[in-house]
Amino acid sequence: MTATDMPAPPADALLGELLLTPEGRRDPYPRYARLREDAPIHRSGLGFWVLSRYDDCQFVLRDPRFGKGDREDRRFAPPPEAAEAIAELRSRAPSMLMLDPPDHTRLRGLVAKAFTPRTVERLRPHIERLLDDLLADIDPDAGPCDIMQAVAFPLPVTVIGELLGVPPADRAAFQPLVRASTALLELTIESQQLIAAAAAGREMAEYFSGLLASRRERPGDDLLSDLLAVSEGGDTLTEAELISTAILLFGAGFETTTNLIGNGLLALLRHRDQLDRLRSDRDLLRTGVEELLRYDSPVQLDGRMAFEDVAIGDAKVAEGEFVVTLLGACNRDASHFPDPDRLDLARDDGPPLSFGSGIHYCLGAALARVEGQVVFDRLLDRFPRMELAAETVDYRTSLTLRGLVELPVALGR
């Protein structure tokens, strides 16, 4: 009898709802709560471990005995029609997101200085000007505005596009390509998604190969030109590494922030007391953005492989086994965040795990925080009235990256 033939324990039934049902993905938090209560350290019938408590997740993300491991796909064996796509995906140089030291350390060190809190803070005035231009194009009298398309996508894609040197006319085309590629981060994936992800990756790789060639001839004041200078000066980056790094930085540079803005604004619109509180006290922007990240995280899970046998509580994780850390679940762990289902913009219980932890802590976390602070501040300044203009909203069909399809908001000056 195989693992898939065995009766599913209750915890696996909850996982099935999270991974496979629209209801589970739309509102995962009740299911997270049951997992934390009934099976906080659970070895699923699919062979991987699932953690849902803050301290356990933090331990795995920080402990060097866990890492990204090899590049073999640990999910179900793919159907034959996806074999070519999988071979193509495995042939590419992995991004730093999927690497362990020393390769991860080398790649991250080359770009980290562009995303330090101090460096990012210097961008704040420019980010404010970019946002003001976007908000000036919104006509409140024209009916509800989709904040996702008016603000949440164009602002971060403009910021990261400028940092990398991606021309303005080319940026919007990346949204569907990045969305197709992020299917690879899910725990379950269909053959057509694999094929689409491979095609999207191929298109992005071809684009950045051409852009890098252009920068070699005419360097600019941007991060791609800086990376080329380092590469050609010390042979530190291969062409494949340059391309994979460019794709990662550009896609991650807007995808997470887009979802932070959408999820965060939705939470505020559904908690009018907190929206009014922030409107009257902008000193809450710093803790408020952290709380919005905690309350409905843009990234809901991460994973690591055990490099040796490791004990997590009473559980024994064997070398080579895969561990899923449910970030969205541990951000609602009452042992770390008292009254976790309550939105409180003044909460200061330590950072959520929305940006991960350890050596793979999100490189763009400081940039996402500043962009979130600027967006919520400027929206409140410009629009004294904001109301959710829909009874229900639709989430994207993914669990790992949690975000809205659209967010219609009625605005008033």
Range in 52-56, 77-81, 338-342 the model is least confident about: 77-81
Nearest to residue 152, comparing CAs of 335, 350, 404, 393? 404
Helical axes 239-270 vs 103-111, angle rounded to 10°: 70
Contact (CB, 8 A) for 354 and 301: no
pLDDT of 40 reads 97
pLDDT at 217 over 60: yes
> In the chain, what percentage of residues exceed pLDDT 90?
84
Could you report the per-residue pLDDT of 273-302, keeping only the tens digit for each?
999 999 999 999 999 999 999 999 999 999
Q: How confident is the model at residue 5 (pLDDT cuts 50, 70, 90)?
A: very low
Please tell me the predicted confidence (pLDDT) of residue 372. Answer: 98
pLDDT at 405: 96
Residue 412 pLDDT: 86
199-226: average pLDDT = 95
At residue 317, the 3 state secondary structure works out as strand
Residue 177 token pair: 């390509």
What's the pLDDT at 9? Answer: 59
Return the domain boundaries, the chain: 3-412
Q: Work out the pLDDT band at 237, boundaries 50, 70, 90.
A: confident
Range 201-208, long-range pairs (CB < 8 A, 24+ positions): 201/88, 201/89, 201/92, 201/247, 202/88, 203/177, 204/174, 204/177, 204/178, 204/247, 204/251, 205/92, 205/243, 205/244, 205/247, 207/170, 208/242, 208/243, 208/246, 208/247
Q: Average pLDDT, whole number, for the chain?
A: 92
pLDDT at residue 75 greater than cutoff 70: no
Please compute the mean of the pLDDT values over residues 212-240 and round it to a whole number: 86
* 235 compared with 258, residue with greater pLDDT: 258
Element (H, E) at 377: helix 365-382
Topology of domain 3-412, CATH? Cytochrome p450 (1.10.630)
Whether the predicted pLDDT of 7 surpasses 50: no
Residue 406 CA to its chain's centroid (Å): 17
Q: What is the pTM of this model?
A: 0.93
Query: Is residue 215 predicted with pLDDT exceeding 50?
Result: yes
Cβ(298)–Cβ(261) under 8 Å? no
Position 413 scores a pLDDT of: 76
Six token digits for residue 157: 């894609």
Per residue in 362-399, pLDDT (tens digit) is 999 999 999 999 999 999 999 999 999 999 999 998 99
Tokens of 363: 């490189």
CA distance readout (Å), 357 to 2, 302, 341: 35, 10, 22
**What does the pLDDT look like over 115-166, one tens digit per residue?**
999 999 999 999 999 999 999 999 999 999 999 999 999 999 999 999 999 9
Residue 168 exposed, middle or buried by CB count within 10 Å (0-12, 13-18, 19+): exposed
Q: Return the structure tokens found at 29.
A: 């938090």
What pLDDT is stored for residue 6 in this prediction?
A: 44
pLDDT band at residue 1, thresholds of 50, 70 and 90? very low
CA distance 74 to 404: 28
- On the question of pLDDT at 3 being above 60, the answer is no
